[in-house]
């Protein structure tokens, strides 16, 4: 029996962390909750240590089980009733909106929220708060790849093909991706690919665990991936490896790209990137002569102020080689967060409405407003990307109140000390989380929320496969789901009610509560209607259909019609059905090195930690495996600076500094230093990073800035 006296119970669900969404079985008995691996197409029975230990947080002693309110006298966060906490929020929202207008309230969501929560949050912002300011932490994750995919293919789905295709590729090129540490079960596909005779080529400034498995590792200077791609296309053109028939029949705009890459002869790319001409030629040959080839990018290529153009350069290469739409071939992005894909499809993003519709498209506004039961002209217009919102908090004309769900920007935002100051200057900061994150610690109101094993819902993984997240048990006393919080806030804000409200929610029609159902099944039913006819069409996806298969791939417009594991087989999602080339050229990093800051700084993840570490830093086994931050330096650089292995160092940029022990490793370039971004306080890597953003995607330049390093 369980501690509560119930029979043992089980739930077949998915990991709470990354976008691989490994299948797992949760079992609760007298000894507590155990995680067991489950056969699922993405992980085939494998889990990484983060997945194995995920249940530890369910009964963690630091878990929040009561709302907290900041006491004005002492300045401390004190336990409070739900009624007091929610009233404080509503009073604060009304006050700032009355004084400064509706956009004075902003909402910051998360890529770990279920589809239902992401949808409800977008609706709450636009219908409940009537603010245009909503965006989410996925902006810091894969927004550059999303923008590049949209402009080339007319649609953005991380992988437009099933993951199993990786095992079938003759050549697999990974650019700025390190799945051996970020999503280890995916390595099985890489192993299978090589067992089948395929070649694995990795582009990364560090010899990561993934790069060390590769047949060929290109180690460019950070920020030069775009030039590498243009040189690869230059070689492919010179050697006659492009697919002329495919380019002629299925694409537009190639002539301009051909002209633009003509200037990227290999020796020039070598001079800029440091990648030898021979390696560029070998890579182009491996791609250009393969029967099946796949090019994947991840954050290393994407988190730049030219991230969209960098991804576009690799998309251009894939199109010129005729790869997208062919089995075992194509371009894809390895999405990072658990629901980074679904989170951006259903309305958390500043420029989008559910179904991946554009918020400035009159027809899209009309459709979604109809589902929500509000006049289309009352929906706010597009907002601005996440960093722009954070940077403007508390400034004249900027938002004065912020609601944060499932995110920790104090650790994860660029130029984090500045963001922290902005958050401290707000009239009202509300954070809903399961633990007291560094952002929650600054809040005026903290709301304790349910965990992944305590509520139902759906997630959309990196393949665009919609999955069921199934509850093992209800939330503990004192804790509420995000959907319940949004419904209660909407009711208290007394949302004006339309004449006809299409909803599956229980309760009397015509009430605010009915418009924000707390039952995730009801929210999903509404989401299906809202997404119907859009690029990310979920209309034909029911929970029972997901249960009957290993998930359902969008778009899936009808219940009795097929889903779409593979996109672009016949046409692209552009008006004329053709993919679009865009000429792109290298430009330097936003902050070049100089005498004062002579080294390149780059950031990333380690195997045992996840994102800002709010959860994984509190799990015993993960903390033991990766207890502290570090600064990775090449031994030659360390010798020049007089720094020994393990000695404390200070990394300083124009924006701030981080202090952590040195870790000497020959796997990094001598002109570059690396730090993981999972830790807060003095070791916070994002104190150093640059807040220059990509002009198209709004992606900050996390992956390169100029620093100096010295003994601390």
Shortest distance, CB of residue 47 to ligand SF4, whole angstroms?
A: 4
Q: Which stretch binds ligand SF4 (CB under 6 A): 25-33, 45-53, 252-260, 624-632?
A: 45-53
Task: Tell me the backbone φ, ψ of residue 429, rounded to 5 degrees.
Answer: -120, 120
Of the residues 17, 119, 254, 581, which one makes contact with ligand SF4 according to CB under 6 A: 17
Of the residues 11, 13, 18, 427, which one makes contact with ligand SF4 according to CB under 6 A: 18
Half-sphere exposure (Cβ direction) of 700: Cα atoms closer than 13 Å: 27
d(CA 23, CA 42): 8
With CB atoms as reference, the residue minimizing the distance to ligand SF4 is 51
Distance of alpha carbon 438 from the chain centroid = 19
CA angle (174, 692, 403) in 5-degree steps = 95
Contact between 26 and 33 under an 8 Å Cβ cutoff? The reply is: yes
Residue 183 found at the interface with ligand SF4 (CB under 6 A): yes
Q: Which stretch binds ligand SF4 (CB under 6 A): 19-27, 291-299, 329-337, 416-424?
A: 19-27
Shortest distance, CB of residue 450 to ligand SF4, whole angstroms?
A: 19
Closest CB to ligand SF4 among residues 44, 94: 44
Nearest CA to 466 among 526, 549, 410? Answer: 549
Q: Which stretch binds ligand SF4 (CB under 6 A): 44-52, 150-158, 247-255, 397-405?
A: 44-52
Closest CB to ligand SF4 among residues 47, 236: 47
Q: Which stretch binds ligand SF4 (CB under 6 A): 165-173, 179-187, 528-536, 628-636?
A: 179-187
User: How many chain residues are in contact with ligand SF4, going by CB under 6 A?
Assistant: 14
Of the residues 47, 410, 539, 660, which one makes contact with ligand SF4 according to CB under 6 A: 47
Shortest distance, CB of residue 16 to ligand SF4, whole angstroms?
A: 7
Query: Could you count the other beta carbons within 10 Å of the beta carbon of residue 678?
Result: 27
Residue 546 found at the interface with ligand SF4 (CB under 6 A): no
DSSP calls for 434-455: SS--TTGGG-SEEEEB--GGGS
Q: How many residues does the chain have?
A: 712
Closest CB to ligand SF4 among residues 21, 230: 21
Residue with tokens 């009159």: 362
Burial of 72 (0-12, 13-18, 19+ CB in 10 A): exposed
Buried b (16+ CB within 10 A) or exposed e, 146-159: bbbbbbbbbbbbbb
Of the residues 11, 15, 389, 584, which one makes contact with ligand SF4 according to CB under 6 A: 15
Closest CB to ligand SF4 among residues 45, 577: 45
Q: Which stretch binds ligand SF4 (CB under 6 A): 14-22, 82-90, 444-452, 615-623?
A: 14-22
Residue with tokens 């958390």: 348
Residue 299 found at the interface with ligand SF4 (CB under 6 A): no
Closest CB to ligand SF4 among residues 51, 520: 51
Of the residues 13, 28, 43, 387, which one makes contact with ligand SF4 according to CB under 6 A: 43
d(CA 335, CA 158): 6
Helix axes 482-492, 115-123, angle to 10 degrees: 10
Residue 22 found at the interface with ligand SF4 (CB under 6 A): yes
Closest CB to ligand SF4 among residues 22, 401: 22
Contact between 525 and 504 under an 8 Å Cβ cutoff? The reply is: yes
Shortest distance, CB of residue 615 to ligand SF4, whole angstroms?
A: 11
Nearest CA to 390 among 446, 442, 448? Answer: 442
d(CA 142, CA 347): 16
Residue 565 found at the interface with ligand SF4 (CB under 6 A): no
d(CA 421, CA 450): 29
User: Could you say which residues in the range 49-68 bind ligand SF4, by CB under 6 A?
Assistant: 50-51
d(CA 550, CA 538): 16
The answer to whether the peptide bond before residue 691 is cis (omega within 30 degrees of 0) is: no
Shortest distance, CB of residue 182 to ligand SF4, whole angstroms?
A: 8
Closest CB to ligand SF4 among residues 339, 686: 339
Contact between 10 and 472 under an 8 Å Cβ cutoff? The reply is: yes
Is residue 652 classed as helix, strand or coil in its secondary structure?
strand
Helix (H) or strand (E) holding 512: helix 512-515
Strand partners, 37: 24
The gap between the terminal CA atoms of the chain, to the nearest Å, is 54
Shortest distance, CB of residue 519 to ligand SF4, whole angstroms?
A: 26
Closest CB to ligand SF4 among residues 111, 266: 111
Q: Which stretch binds ligand SF4 (CB under 6 A): 47-55, 108-116, 657-665, 703-711?
A: 47-55
Q: Which stretch binds ligand SF4 (CB under 6 A): 16-24, 135-143, 278-286, 483-491?
A: 16-24
Closest CB to ligand SF4 among residues 90, 164: 164
Residue 608 found at the interface with ligand SF4 (CB under 6 A): no
Q: Which stretch binds ligand SF4 (CB under 6 A): 46-54, 137-145, 160-168, 431-439?
A: 46-54
Burial of 320 (0-12, 13-18, 19+ CB in 10 A): buried
User: Could you say which residues in the range 185-204 bind ligand SF4, by CB under 6 A?
Assistant: 185
* Helix runs in 608-696, H state only: 620-625, 635-641
Shortest distance, CB of residue 194 to ligand SF4, whole angstroms?
A: 20
Residue 462 found at the interface with ligand SF4 (CB under 6 A): no
Query: Could you count the other beta carbons within 10 Å of the beta carbon of residue 162?
Result: 16
Closest CB to ligand SF4 among residues 94, 618: 618
Residues at the contact surface with ligand SF4, assessed by CB under 6 A: 15, 17-18, 20-22, 43, 47-48, 50-51, 183-185
């Amino acid at each position: 029996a369980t501690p509560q006296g119930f029979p043992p119970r089980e739930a077949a669900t998915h990991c709470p962390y990354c976008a691989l969404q490994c299948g797992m079985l949760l079992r609760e008995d007298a000894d507590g909750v155990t995680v067991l691996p489950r056969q699922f197409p993405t992980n085939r029975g494998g889990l990484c240590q983060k997945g194995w230990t995920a249940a530890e947080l369910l009964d963690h002693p630091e878990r929040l089980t009561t709302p907290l309110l900041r006491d004005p006298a002492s300045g401390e966060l004190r336990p409070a009733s739900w009624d007091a906490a929610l009233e404080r929020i509503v009073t604060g929202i009304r006050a700032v909106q009355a004084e400064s207008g509706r956009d004075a309230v902003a909402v910051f969501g998360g890529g770990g929220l279920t589809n239902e929560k992401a949808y409800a949050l977008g609706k709450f912002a636009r219908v409940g708060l009537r603010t245009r300011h909503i965006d989410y932490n996925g902006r810091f994750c894969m927004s550059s790849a999303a923008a590049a995919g949209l402009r080339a293919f007319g649609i953005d789905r991380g992988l437009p093909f099933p993951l199993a295709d990786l095992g079938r590729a003759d050549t697999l090129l990974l650019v700025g991706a390190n799945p051996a540490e970020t999503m280890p079960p995916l390595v099985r596909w890489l192993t299978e690919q090589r067992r089948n005779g395929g070649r694995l080529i990795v582009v990364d400034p560090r010899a990561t665990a993934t790069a060390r498995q590769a047949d060929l590792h290109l180690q460019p200077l950070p920020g030069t991936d775009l030039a590498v791609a243009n040189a690869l296309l230059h070689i492919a053109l010179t050697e006659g490896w492009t697919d002329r028939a495919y380019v002629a029949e299925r694409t537009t705009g190639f002539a301009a790209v051909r002209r633009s890459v003509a200037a990227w002869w290999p020796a020039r790319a070598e001079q800029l990137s440091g990648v030898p001409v021979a390696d560029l030629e070998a890579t182009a040959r491996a791609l250009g002569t393969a029967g099946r080839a796949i090019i994947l990018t991840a954050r290393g290529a994407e988190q730049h102020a030219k991230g969209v153009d960098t991804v576009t350069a690799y998309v251009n290469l894939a199109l010129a080689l005729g790869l997208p739409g062919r089995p075992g071939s194509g371009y894809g992005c390895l999405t990072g967060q658990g629901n980074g894909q679904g989170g951006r499809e259903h309305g958390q993003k500043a420029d989008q409405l559910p179904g991946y519709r554009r918020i400035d498209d009159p027809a899209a506004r009309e459709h979604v407003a109809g589902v929500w039961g509000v006049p289309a002209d009352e929906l706010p217009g597009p907002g601005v990307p996440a960093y722009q919102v954070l940077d403007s908090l508390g400034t004249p004309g900027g938002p004065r109140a912020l609601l944060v769900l499932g995110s920790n920007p104090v650790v994860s935002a660029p130029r984090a000390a500045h963001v922290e100051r902005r958050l401290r200057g707000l009239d009202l900061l509300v954070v809903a989380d399961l633990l007291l994150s560094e952002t929650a610690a600054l809040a005026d109101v903290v709301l304790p929320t349910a965990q992944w094993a305590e509520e139902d819902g759906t997630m959309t993984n990196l393949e665009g496969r919609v999955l069921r997240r199934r509850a093992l048990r209800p939330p503990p006393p004192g804790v509420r789901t995000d959907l319940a919080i949004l419904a209660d806030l909407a009711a208290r804000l007394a949302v004006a009610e339309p004449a006809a409200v299409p909803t599956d929610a229980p309760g009397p029609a015509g009430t605010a509560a009915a418009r924000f159902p707390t039952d995730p099944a009801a929210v999903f039913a509404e989401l299906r209607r809202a997404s119907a006819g859009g690029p990310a069409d979920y209309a034909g996806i029911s929970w029972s259909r997901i249960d009957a298969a290993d998930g359902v791939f969008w778009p899936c417009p009808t219940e009795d019609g097929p889903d779409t594991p593979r996109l672009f087989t016949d046409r692209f999602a552009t008006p004329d059905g053709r993919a679009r080339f865009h000429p792109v050229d290298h430009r330097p990093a936003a902050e070049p090195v100089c005498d004062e800051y002579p080294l390149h700084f780059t950031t990333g993840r380690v195997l045992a930690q996840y994102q800002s570490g709010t959860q994984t830093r509190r799990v015993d086994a993960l903390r033991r495996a990766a207890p502290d931050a570090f600064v990775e330096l090449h031994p030659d650089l360390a010798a020049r600076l007089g720094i020994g292995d393990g000695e404390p160092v200070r990394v300083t940029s124009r924006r701030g500094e981080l202090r952590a022990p040195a870790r000497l490793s020959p796997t990094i370039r001598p002109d570059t230093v690396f730090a993981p971004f999972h830790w807060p306080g003095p070791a916070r890597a994002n104190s150093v990073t640059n807040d220059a953003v990509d002009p198209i995607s709004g992606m900050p330049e996390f992956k390169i800035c100029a620093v100096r390093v010295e003994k601390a």
